[in-house]
Amino acid sequence: QVQLQESGPGLVKPSETLSLICTVSGDSVIRNGHYRAWIRQPPGKGLEWIGSLYSTGSTYSNPSLNNRVTISVDASRNQVSLSLSSVTAADTAVYYCATFAQTDAIYLWGPGTVVTVSS
């Protein structure tokens, strides 16, 4: 059974960089034809796609985040990481790791991790 688990600091100071890790179990982090993605949900609000890493190594991010997003993979640890720079209170959210295939819906989600941006 494939599982995703997010981890990282629950509290980040404004202007700093938020760093999260998604550990994949039961599957290779690089699965042919699949994306590993990050999605977030501010408190009481809807879902926002942050970015994705494809099995070829290509990365894509939401233009609304103004080039603050870096997504990378550590195949030796079976992990995908997210870095979001210059955070503000608006980046406070539950951050989810997720998986989907090309031209397919998101079929697997991690449980999410809460990140609060505050001094």
Provide, rounded to whole angstroms, the least separation between the CB of residue 47 and other proteins: 4
- Contact segment (CB under 8 A) with other proteins among 10-18, 20-28, 70-78, 104-112 equals 104-112
Report the C-alpha gap between 58 and 60 in whole angstroms. Answer: 7
**Considering only residues 53, 110, 115, 117, which one is a binding residue for other proteins as defined by CB under 8 A?**
110
Show the site string, 69-98: x = touches other proteins by CB under 8 A, - = not. Answer: ---------------------------x--
Q: Which residues contact 84 (CB under 8 A, 6 or more apart)?
A: 17, 18, 50, 65, 68, 69, 70, 91
State the distance between the two ends of the chain, measured CA to CA, in whole angstroms.
39
Provide, rounded to whole angstroms, the least separation between the CB of residue 16 and other proteins: 25
Report the C-alpha gap between 72 and 46 in whole angstroms. Answer: 25
Residues that bind other proteins (CB under 8 A): 37, 46-49, 52, 60, 62-64, 96, 100, 103-107, 109-112
